Amino acid sequence: MRLLKWSPNFDVREESPIAPAWISFPKVHLHFFNMQILFGLASLFGRPLQTDQATASLSRPSVARVLIY
């Protein structure tokens, strides 16, 4: 669910131009698999929301993924 600032021009039928996206950081060293560090990197591209389960559990050390908005 998203909450947006109300606007008099709001039309529920109109598609939002903003969408969440996953960004990947391949070959990141394990000592960078820290939410604060990953969110800092991801904030260069948008607002970080969460990491994927494999990144959070370190089960896929070849790539870190962060969802941004």
Q: Where are the domains of the chain?
A: 21-68
Say what the pLDDT of residue 4 is. Answer: 66
Model pLDDT, residue 2: 60
**Checking DSSP bridges between strand 21-26 and strand 48-51, what pairing results, if any?**
unpaired
pLDDT of the chain, 69 residues: tens digit per residue: 566 677 788 787 887 777 899 999 999 999 999 999 999 999 999 999 999 999 999 999 999 999 999
| pLDDT computed for residue 34 by the predictor | 93
Neighbours of 48 (CB within 10 A): 19
Q: Report the Cα–Cα distance between both ends of the chain, in Å, rounded.
A: 13
Asked whether 68 and 50 are in contact (CB, 8 A), the reply is no
| 27 within 8 A of 62, measured Cβ to Cβ | yes
pLDDT at 12: 76
